[in-house]
Amino acid sequence: MGEAVGSAPSVAAAPAGQRPGRVLKVVFGLDCAGTCSYCALKTSNGFPRARHARLDPALAEPKIREVAEKYEICGLEVGAGETFDQPELWEWLLALNARELNVPVMAFTGGLSKQTPRVLDAIAASSAPVLLLFSYDGRRSERNSANWREVEAAFRAMKARLSVAPHVTLKLTACVAPRDTRHLKENFLSLLDLDPAPFAFRPLKRSFNDSEREEFVKQLAAFLDEASNRG
């Protein structure tokens, strides 16, 4: 639910005299060094043409103020692609938020951007609550089977860096591709081993055949048993 600079809103009307609440999606750019086969962004029409587009703060700031006059901005969602590759835009948005909006911020990251330390410094220094969703599908997953050691090390480093920033919440989030269903339990256990806390997951918007759906349910049940045994 939100208002991206340029998209049409779709939620219930606000009480009389109040502006309707909106989460504002701020898109820094579209690019990402990742190679996920299921990437909706990279498989979308026009991506090759638009991949190098970047948000221009001088153009975006007046638009954000315009939206803030029309709606009660109750949060910022930063997108798309790997936003950590744009540290200067993170610094700009967090400063604008501290000055004018002071609302919670949410974003995804794959954790492997070379600019991660600089972005984490800006996030740790920001005054507003930040929710960071760290995308990791597990050790045997289509996405991370080749780089899980690097990704897990990046997560541990991020968690350590943010341990001094109580206003920042770092959570793991996983996607499940049809081919991942046979390793679902092992993949989810690798997330639990990495961070013994609840994590978010979602099956990809792809067609799962009957045996993949059965395997998904079987593996998820086995994982939940194991997780509950661990308490």
Site string for ligand SF4, 69-108 (x = CB under 6 A): ------------xx--------------------------
Q: What residues are paired with 169 via a beta bridge?
A: 131
Q: Is 41 in the site for ligand SF4 (CB under 6 A)?
A: yes
Q: Where does this chain touch ligand SF4 (CB under 6 A) — which range of 34-42, 54-62, 97-105, 162-170?
A: 34-42
**What letter does residue 97 receive in the DSSP assignment?**
I
Cα gap 2→127, rounded to integer Å? 22
Between strands 168-176 and 200-203, the pairing is parallel
**Residue 138 interacting with ligand SF4 (CB under 6 A):** no
In the set 4, 5, 21, 42, which binds ligand SF4 (CB under 6 A)?
42
Residue 213 has phi, psi (to 5 degrees) of -65, -45
Closer residue to ligand SF4, CB minimum distance, 73 or 82? 82
C-alpha dihedral (107, 195, 168, 25), degrees to nearest 10: 10
Q: What is the dihedral of CA 7, 95, 30, 77, to 10 degrees?
A: -50
- Judged by CB, which is closer to ligand SF4: 43, or 102? 43
Distance CA 84, CA 119 (A): 6
Applying CB under 6 A, among 32, 106, 107, 151 the residue interacting with ligand SF4 is: 32
Nearest to ligand SF4 of 135, 181 (CB atom): 135
Regarding 21 and contact with ligand SF4 (CB under 6 A), the answer is no
Query: Across the chain, how many H-helices and E-strands are there?
Result: 7, 7
Which residues form the interface with ligand SF4 (CB under 6 A)? 32, 34, 36, 39, 41-42, 81-82, 110, 135
